[in-house]
């Protein structure tokens, strides 16, 4: 079934970003292909923070960064506290067995604050989206609704996500395949991060591993 446009969903009950350290990381010195940041989530003090609320939980778990969404129509996200502009972001994302397939597993770039950023996500029933949050309003970019892609592994299989934020161009790759792109000029730099969320059915259970940020 085709996923609805995010803007026509009920107002999200809670969109919570975890408290993170404010760190700056310059890019002018780095050559193309250089690693700007990476985290395998083995150290529970690496700066992503933790959350336990009525809407959901987020935090370090068994060498991954884990989200559990307790309420419908909720997004949670976390970010390490960086300031970056042009980046390739990669991560391995896995939904646990029994997690609703209508879910959101994704990446964030150019997060200015918790009401302004770009996001890239898939659902494990085979859909994806690229969008932005501007002044707290969520919208998709490039297409009015989520699009389907055979590149997305279903169920509890691992999906390797890559989001490129290069100038005005936003690109999403899944398991090495280009699935979508969009253009937008609202945000030019900011933090990177992870995002997980639920549609109408709560219980989304997602783990992320091998997070890395590379200069294109």
Alpha-carbon gap, residue 154 to 138, rounded angstroms: 25
- Please tell me the predicted confidence (pLDDT) of residue 27: 64
pLDDT for the residue 12? 36
pLDDT of residue 26: 53
Q: What class does CATH assign to 6-214? A: mainly beta
Question: HEC string of 183-211?
Answer: ECCCCCCEEEEEEEEECCCCCEEEEEEEE
The pTM of this model reads 0.89
Ranges in the chain, pLDDT < 70: 1-29
Domain segments of the chain as ranges: 6-214
Q: What is the pLDDT of residue 105?
A: 98
Q: What is the pLDDT of residue 32?
A: 84
Q: What's the pLDDT score for residue 8?
A: 29
Q: How far apart are CA 94 and CA 112, in angstroms?
A: 27
- For residue range 170-210, list pLDDT tens digits in order: 999 999 999 999 999 999 999 999 999 999 999 999 999 99
pLDDT in tens, 133-153: 999 999 999 989 999 999 999
b/e per residue, 123-154, with b = 16+ CB within 10 A? bbebbbbbbbbbeeebebbeeeebbebebbbe
- Burial annotation 64-89 (CB, 10 A radius, 16+ → b, else e): bbbbbbbebbbbbbbbbbbbbbbbbb
Q: For position 140, what pLDDT does the model report?
A: 97
């Amino acid at each position: 079934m085709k996923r609805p446009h995010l803007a026509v969903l009920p107002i999200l009950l809670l969109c919570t970003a975890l408290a993170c350290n404010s760190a700056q990381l310059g890019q002018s010195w780095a050559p193309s292909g250089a690693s700007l940041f990476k985290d395998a989530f083995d150290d529970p003090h690496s700066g992503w923070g933790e959350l336990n609320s009525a809407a959901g939980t987020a935090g370090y778990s068994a060498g991954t960064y884990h989200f559990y969404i307790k309420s419908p129509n909720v997004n949670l996200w976390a970010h390490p506290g960086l300031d970056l502009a042009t980046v390739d972001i990669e991560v391995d994302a896995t939904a646990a067995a029994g997690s609703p397939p209508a879910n959101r597993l994704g990446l964030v770039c150019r997060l200015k604050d918790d009401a302004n950023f770009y996001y890239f996500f898939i659902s494990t029933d085979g859909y994806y989206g690229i969008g932005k949050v501007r002044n707290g309003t969520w919208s998709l970019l490039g297409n009015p609704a989520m699009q389907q892609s055979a590149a997305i592994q279903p169920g509890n299989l691992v999906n390797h996500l890559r989001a490129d934020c290069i100038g005005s161009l936003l690109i999403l790759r899944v398991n090495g395949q280009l699935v979508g792109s969009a253009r937008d000029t609202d945000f030019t730099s900011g933090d990177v991060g992870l995002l997980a969320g639920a549609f109408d059915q709560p219980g989304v259970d997602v783990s992320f591993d091998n997070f890395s940020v590379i200069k294109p």
